[in-house]
Structure 1
């Protein structure tokens, strides 16, 4: 059962990733996003609700300030004051004073805000300036204010509820000049509130109340006017209060909690629908992606299976120009290269077997040569020919080093020692006209290089550079380390070469040939074979000024 649950194919892995991603999205939706987004929506809704109530409150506050300005303007109107003074001291007829005051007040009053407006003279009956219900007698509170010795705590404007209109609030303004002349009472009309509040929208079911001293002065539901706010407390409502500058006045906005949560529920439904659509889109994308990815993979797998069975004639045809097309092209190239390498290795094995046979045949002669040279050496020593003896020893060392069965790589010091033996023989040949010098840093002496790699270059220099030598010939073999590479220079003061000949010689180094022999071309091809491209021989020469042949070798890491 567990074996059947293992994800062995890319298709099953993609499906597993999709299922895991779906589960993660659903868990985040119901575990984190829903709560987080719900809280965010609730906070934003409450902030918007609070800002709306504050904006309405500021407008209502401005309305009350305009009303106060109007009412206090009537109370300070000098014409009204003069007529009330004449009436108090019985210097004018009551009817005439009433007419004059009425004319003056109605001229400067915005009647849309006024329900009842009455002036109570000190000694005369009330003057009804504008009224819905006429007033004939002052109430006890007004009667008390008409007494000249009564000083209310606020001399400009008082807000009161008169007994003849329980649910209506009135603005009371004492009129004074050298004593009490009267009291102005202006009953507020609901229009002063409805102009603003009836246009205010706080959600679908939200309401706004104008409250004075804890009692509702205006509400869109007339039944609530005069009701105490404390009786309206509901645990499921969100309430925002705005306190106005007018003392005792407050604006209260209330929105049911269910209305705020309805927005969250609506958003959750939209979000769930979006998640379903998103997952469906991802599923369609996964199906298309599987087809686009798995089809080329199946072609590649079938091609690999044929190569695994030994069929190297596989060519995967395709029309794609995308990444899979490039993979198929590389696969075809790889198969072609494998087939070519197999053929190359087969040819190399044939040459190697031929070389091994020749090597076995050649081993018959070295033992005879060693014994012969040893006999000649002792004959020369016995006759006092030390120079000839030393030459024989150098030749014997060269022969032994060349045909030894040691590793192909040897230390630099050992190869330089063999090269010095070769130069000793050549020096005798040229009767001391040949001078040589080695300049190898100590750090290079233990480095590994291919055996007999530099000697062919020295042979070429002696053969061609000193061919018509009349003066003494000098040769320097030096080495240096550059960025981890080993660089050798074979420098001579011979006849040199022209630039055309140097270019021709360099070009011949890049030619592939099965010819055997010792020469610059074979040395270069040997270096490239062992170390790869970027390594090999470079030549710098001028006619009459000598030649410098340089070799660049890498670290001892073979490509074969």
Structure 2
């Protein structure tokens, strides 16, 4: 049956606007009814959840108090070791006692630790590791595990970092004593000498993890609720499903727990159900978290859900009648507009629709008329842009195979050959070949920055051989932009202008600086020279295109600027600044294209 309903739904004539409006309006009315019902339901649920959260927070505060008290007792034990004279002297680096003389100290310290253990069955072990190599514990004879180095244990290393303050470790297996492997939580601290400055060793007391387990497992937070504990770095101290967490078969919202303040809560709703996490900070770097399931807090959901369903069914009937009347009224002018659109689809761009309704549909008709006029304008503009791009491509072809530059280069090669400067002939010929290979790269409108820079390098190399000491150049191109793309022959016209109009007529050597960098989604190229420069009037004439530039040697800078804007839009292009007698700076902006 469900399959038949789905088939009817998917084969329904959704292309009909009347049908779409009918469904839309019916759905809208249904949503309004559903929202009202859901609001009442939500208020009831929220009230129950708030009362439950207050109760849970109170329970969590009590658990927090118990654990804090327990950790404080462990802290007091560490203070006992810290102030014990036998412990201080035994691990002191200044105490020169023989092995036989140290035994009374070991016995007194072991007796002290054993008395503590006898009164506290929750403590697994108490140990002191002196930096002088001496070790003592609650055992008469402390036999260390030869395969374990206490100095490499996290509780040992962390205690050294705390400068005498105590620190509580995550759960771990304590196996520094031979033959013992206990699942514990360790409180450790670094012991100081009598001067309170010199570190002498590490004290550690191990707490059986079962104590924390017993405290937390006694808390009832509903059928599925539970309590877990994490430290400040997100390590699980206690969890009733700890093994599942370690094997990644279960997860917890640890990052959100760490970011939640003490006494606050947050809600998670996923495939495991809606859960409320209540957080309490112990003040010891731990956070106690109570997890309760929403289903456990609210028992009367069924009756509320039945009421919602009843209102929804009633709303469907009402919405169908109202929606049918509205859809028929609204679609009548739209169908007239559709008829005029068909005329445009057939190529009639002179059509102008006229609607009598004084509403948004009439505005739609006016927008349609504007759109038709804009299409006509864009078609005319496309034809014009195509013609401009064709002219720009012809100028680019002229720049790629520039007769004047080729003539001068070949003339220089002939002169060097006559002078028997064979190596220079080879260098210039090779550079000319590389330059044309870089510029005539496949039938593509865009080339990589690497190809463009290689083209310029070869071009400047040839010009350098012609002008010798009169010309020098410097590149500053970061490698990470070389794989970007841009239009071909982008920089050569500006370098030609720098040579022929700025440097060639100088009495002193000239330098051209070619640099590039990236600003967000734009690439900036800069061609700077120390040539003759231009006056403000001359610069205005050049930038406004009222005078020709470089027409003899290649395409002008105005043509390059026009070509950039044809390809990328008017946001991009070229700007030029110049100071007479100091030089010229040309800045070109193009988009980043991969």
Same fold, TM-score > 0.5, yes or no: no
Larger Rg: 1
TM-score relative to the length of structure 2: 0.41
TM-score in terms of structure 1 length: 0.44
